[in-house]
Amino acid sequence: MENKPIATRTMYCKSCAEKKYPFSGQVFAVFGGTSQKIHLMKADHNQKKGMTPHFIYTVKKDKHFVTIHALCAIHNCGVEIIANKETGLHDLFLFTDRVKIIKLPIKDYLHFITKWRGWTGYNI
């Protein structure tokens, strides 16, 4: 995967659906398109189970398709979020063995990436 995701998008996560995630108060991470930083948030209500934020990384583009890597950004699924007592910040660990590889037609990829551009906040 590249160093930084290019977006955070809501996608279906089978593992989260089986665990009944997300639930109100559950911690997750998002990548801020404007700030270009990762932010931690908490779910503000019980969302449809399995529909969770994912970090999206563009891996390969060709004339007709884009291959992306998608990683669920829910704590205890695709990422582990641990408070660092020394710095007062949080450490974010990515479970790279849980990355989904998805091949999308260019048109679908562009819609997927740009549809929510400019939105502020992220609620699940």
For the chain, give every domain's residue range.
Answer: 7-114
Q: Which helix (H) or strand (E) holds 18?
A: helix 14-19
Ranges of residues in the chain with a pLDDT under 50 are: 1-3
Q: What is the pLDDT of residue 119?
A: 53
Cα dist from 15 to 6, 39, 66, 98, 123, whole Å? 23, 22, 24, 10, 20
Q: What is the pLDDT of residue 1?
A: 43
Q: What is the longest distance spanned by two Cα atoms in the chain?
A: 48
- Flag whether the pTM goes above 0.85: no
